[in-house]
Structure 1
Amino acid sequence: MKRLLLAFGFILALAGCGRGGEGDEPVLHVGSQRGGTKAVMVASGVLEGAPYRVEWSEFPAAQHLLEAIGSGAVDVGLVGDAPFMFAYQSGGRVKAIGAQYVKERPTGALALLVPATSKIRTLADLKGKTVATGRGSVGHYLIIRALAAANLPADYVKISFLSPGDAKAAFASGAIDAWSSWAPYTSAAIREGARTIVDGHDFVRGYGFDVANVESAKTKHDLLADFLRREAKALEWKRAHNEEFAAVMAKETGLPIEIARDYGAKNGRQSVPIDAEIIADQQRVLDDFRNAGAIEGKRKLADGFDTSFNAEKVASR
């Protein structure tokens, strides 16, 4: 209960940040995960001349960002498809207004890792072992998909839901047997000797979503549309300027330049419109979560997407 009260207090405090004294200047509150949206938008310079001010809030993982969006503390933020599905079906006041896609998820961008000294070699060796990841994260989804593909039950492993920072510490100390995570966390762990026993390249599609608070999607529609247009340009810029992006990311996050460079190379997303193909793909994500007993929500899938922003997205895929 104490933890819940502290978390709620954090969200309320965040909601108050920048809300007062905005005057007549429009403000867009944008959330960014470590090394995510903020780094690419700042590095590319696409926000120069924007007819509004962007106020950034940093989050360690998608779950925390989605909670802030749902509460109204943040207007919009980029998250993976699995955490969006999890938050939406859990009743969050969130809606996907834009999509991003990477045709080929690079090796190591999402992975189930074990320590260098571990005797575990395959997924089957994890029976009864403890695997850490974030609840509803892409790491959580990787565990579910990998077990299903191997015809293993959802309770084959014990999942310990931890934040990336706590999971990293538990992984280093040997308090957990494996860690299912994503870049840049995987990049750093692999550089330090961690071994990959399951790679997300084989199991998880590369979709991500710009997710907005449902009220913000209405009251700040024009600001959000402009932001998505600039974000699409920033992603195009990054594909040709990874070194410049990595320098800004390293400065923003404190990560070594090598990790930032590797993360940029593994994160070649492009903006795409939300269409029937994407929604159908998300039905599979939802079904996988439900089959594993991780989600009980019955909200209509299509209602979680707002296609009125599609004109702002890059149409090629």
Structure 2
Amino acid sequence: MSKPTRNTPAKLRRPLLTGLVVALATLSFALPSQARETLRIGYQKSSTLITLLKAQGTLDKTLAQQNIDVSWHEFPSGLPLLEALNVGNVDISADVADTVPIFAQAAQAKLTYFAQEAPSPSAQAIVVHKDSSLQQLSDLKGKKVAVTKAAGSHYLLIAALNKAGLQFSDIQPAYLSPADGRAAFENNKVDAWVTWEPFLTSAQRQLPTRTLADGDGLASYKRYYLTSTSYAKTHPQVLKVVYDQLYKTGSWIKTNPRDAAQVLSPLWGNLGVETVESANTHRSYQVQPVKIDQLGEQQKIADAFFAAGLLPKTVDAKDVGIWRP
């Protein structure tokens, strides 16, 4: 009877090892590869916190740890930004004025709020030339007023006119972007201009102006951060990262106003650091969750625009998604 040789166990191990290698290879092909994604962020020049995050690279670095890249897309104002969000050209919108989501809702956009900034009523105003004959809001009747369509300042103008016993139809609106509005105002093509920060402080420091009214008692001027309803459902972890970074940046800008102004100055057309710092004092930058039962002023805004004939239909301000951290 022959004895078993010493190399028998090795012979047995070879097919076992080969089978194990094949099994592991098969498993590795079966597991989904973690492909990099890209978060597309739309913003405007007045999107201060997002602008700081972009400049400092903070958000890019944090999301890179989750295999997510960031692409940045600048828009001239809030309405075209939310239009881009609605058609899927961006994934999230940096802060836009409270009026903008109302217009987007009227266009059947499926929006989800994921953050807001506390009210900043003095961050927008109606200005006239210092030597203008216009002394009070009622003097705007029949005058040409530069305003950006669907901006927060658009609602401020409506509210101010109503306070003076006037309707929006009592003036001649000139719908212009902030840059074009400034040019028209500076060249006396319009009688008044309604704008917001940092354009407001820039004009007040560089031009002889007088303020007819700001938002105090008229328009609280909240700014909202939004995403599509579908993105909120599929990427809640990304929204949490963005929310946390916005909150930290809002706190940082208030405790480091000069440092923030020095970063923002070249990004805001080389506005003077003192001008930027002054403009930022009018914004709260206090990032908060959005609550459905706190959208009362949104409904008030929607009703005012509809009454002025500027919306094609009534809008239910609460007919939106709410994401909370």
TM-score bracket, shorter-length normalisation: 0.7 to 0.9
1:154 counterpart residue number: 168
Counterpart in the other structure of 2:36 = 25
Deviations 1:132-188 (A, max 9, x none): 111111111011111112221221211111111111111111111111110111111
8 Å CA contact 1:62, 1:80 repeated in 2: yes
Note if contact 1:29-1:54 (Cα within 8 Å) is conserved in structure 2.
yes
SS at match of 2:89: coil
Aligned counterpart, 1:53: 69
User: Offset at 1:46?
Assistant: 4.1
- Answer yes or no: is the 8 Å Cα contact 2:247–2:287 preserved in 1: yes
Contact 1:87-1:136 within 8 A present in 2 as well: no
Indicate if the aligned counterparts of 1:33 and 1:60 stay in contact, CA closer than 8 A: yes
The answer to which structure, 1 or 2, has the higher relative contact order (CA under 8 A, 6+ apart) is 1
Of the three residues 133, 148, 157, the one matched with 1:134 is 148
SS at match of 1:212: strand
Query: SS at the partner of 1:88?
Result: helix
What secondary structure, in the 3-state scheme, does the structure 2 residue paired with 1:201 have?
coil
Are 1:176 and 2:190 an aligned pair? yes
The equivalent of 2:25 in structure 1 is none
CA distance in 2, matches of 1:157, 1:89: 24
Q: Name the % identity.
A: 28
Q: Which runs of 5+ in 1 are unaligned?
A: 1-22, 313-317
Query: 1:57 Cα deviation (Å)?
Result: 1.2
Aligned to 1:16: none
The CA RMSD over aligned residues, in Å, is: 2.0
Distance in 2, matches of 1:137 and 1:35, equals 12
Inter-partner Cα distance in structure 2 for 1:116 and 1:268 = 28
Larger radius of gyration: 2
- Is 1:86–2:79 an aligned residue pair? no
Distance change in 2, residues 1:205/1:91 (3 Å):
same
Tell me how far 1:249 sits from its aligned partner.
0.8
Q: How far apart are residue 42 of structure 1 and its match? A: 4.0
Instruction: Confirm or deny that 1:38 pairs with 2:50.
Output: yes
Judge conservation of contact 1:132–1:176 (CA < 8 Å) in 2: yes
Cα pair 1:30 1:75 within 8 Å, conserved: yes
Distance 1:296 1:35, change over 3 A: closer
Q: Is the CA contact 1:129–1:157 (under 8 Å) kept in the aligned structure 2?
A: yes
Cα separation, partners in 2 of 1:184 and 1:64, compared to 1, 3 Å: same
Tell me the number of residue pairs that the alignment of Structure 1 and Structure 2 aligns: 284
Aligned to 2:216, the other structure's residue is in SS state: helix
Runs of 4+ displaced beyond 6 Å: none
2:282 maps to 1:270: no
Match of 1:207 in 2: 222
Q: TM-score, normalised by structure 1?
A: 0.83
Note if 1:124 corresponds to 2:143: no
Query: What is the distance in 2 between the residues matched to 1:46 and 1:234?
Result: 10
Paired position in structure 1 for 2:248? 233
CA distance in 2 between partners of 1:156 and 1:92 (Å): 31
TM-score relative to the length of structure 2: 0.81
Tell me the equivalent position of 1:280. Answer: 296
Unaligned runs of 5+ in 2: 1-33
